[in-house]
Structure 1
Amino acid sequence: MTAWRTLGHRGDALELLLETTHEFYKRQGLGLVDKIHTPIKVTEIDKGIITKAFFDKKSTVDFMGLIQGIGVAFDAKETQNKSIPLKNIHDHQIEFMKAFEEQKGLAFLIVHYKKVDSFYLIPIHIILDIITNGKKSISYTVLPEEFKIQYKNNGLLDYLPTLNTYLDWKRDQQKRKCTG
């Protein structure tokens, strides 16, 4: 088994696709989103090469930044199946995304369901609803169609239209709370 096929690298293709998309967004002045690397502590270096290191602390999410003035924090996940197990979303990631949303940011997953070759933006509120309902995974079939991301032939995963749908939904929810 090659290194890129190990569990620790299973989302690399999606992350590379998103990094390419983010570079395009940056050039177009649409947003500034960066990959967040897991902090490591280097314990041994030999001739300028790191030979020993360990993870210093748990990571939060894969990407964070600003898109048109709105804070975003999200994780990229891939699954070979038609559903993604909730165990693939760590508790500390869920807690971080909840706290990020409490600070008026947008927190979500971008999931590539490889079996059906579909990409979805899954807002944290949907993840929390699924957890509350006792489910063990998130099937693409339960996700609203408006959260499906259209892959562009230009090699970009342009999720901004889907993100705008999510933002509109959040604003509608806030209006309902104020008038309800």
Structure 2
Amino acid sequence: MSMTAWRTGGLKGDALETLIEETHIQYKKQGLGIVEKIPTSVKVTKIDGKGCVCEGYFEKKSTVDFVGLIQGVGVAFDAKETMNPSLPLQNIHDHQIQFMIHYEKQKGLAFIICHYKKVDRYFLIPIHIVLEHIRNGKKSISYKVLPENFELDYRYNGVLNYIPVLNNYRKWKREIKT
């Protein structure tokens, strides 16, 4: 990460995304699933004499950070980090919300994995909870209002094990439909 990006607050989700990518390497090795990071499409406009990209722009809005299959279930999710005890909803872009809504309509699971850095806790936040907060005029989602069984197990061996919580999410979805 460049020092400029670090100082300006760019690449805010890099640490969490790296942790999630390491988790996906382990999941793949164990035969539990395959989830890929979706790259942001960048149009290169200038390359210096050494072949390094020095100018470019984002071609289009991205969807979410990760898409794949975990134990036969389609997943699409974004990684978010916040220094606050609440995740500002403005950090979840409209095009991401729309993508997740459509993904869920196709029987996939769409969610946010959020690291609440102030309390160093990780949660899986289903798109349904995001939409509920938006409908109720909330500006953020506090970790305190999330179901306890949606907290992720962070093992200090480089794995953020979210499969058990994914199973809790599937069960919760079945319960809210009945």
Q: Is the structural similarity TM-score above 0.5? A: yes
Query: Which bracket does the TM-score occupy, shorter chain normalised?
Result: over 0.9
CA distance in 2, matches of 1:4, 1:104: 38
Which residue in the other structure is 2:144 paired with?
141
Q: CA RMSD in A?
A: 1.2
> Which stretch shifts more, 49-58 or 132-141?
49-58
Bigger fraction of residues in helix: 1
CA distance in 2, matches of 1:121, 1:150: 10
TM-score by length of 2: 0.94
Which residue in the other structure is 2:153 paired with?
150
SS of corresponding position for 1:146 = helix
Figure out how many residues of one structure are paired with residues of the other and give that number.
Answer: 175
Identity %: 65
Which residue in the other structure is 2:130 paired with?
127
Map residues 60-75 of structure 1 onto 2, 5 A cutoff: 60-75=63-78
Matched AA of 2:136 = N
Deviations 1:62-99 (A, max 9, x none): 11111111110000000011001110000111011001
CA distance in 2, matches of 1:5, 1:19: 24
CA distance in 2, matches of 1:96, 1:132: 18
Which residue in the other structure is 1:26 paired with?
28
Q: Unpaired runs of 5+ in structure 1?
A: none
CA distance in 1, matches of 2:63, 2:131: 17
CA distance in 2, matches of 1:10, 1:50: 21
CA distance in 1, matches of 2:52, 2:126: 40
TM-score by length of 1: 0.93
Map residues 1-180 of structure 1 onto 2, 5 A cutoff: 2-47=4-49, 48-174=51-177, 176=178
Shift of 1:8: 2.8
Shift of 1:5: 4.4
Shift of the 16–37 alpha-carbon distance from structure 1 to 2, 3 Å rule, reads same
Shift of 1:131: 0.5
Matched AA of 1:108 = F
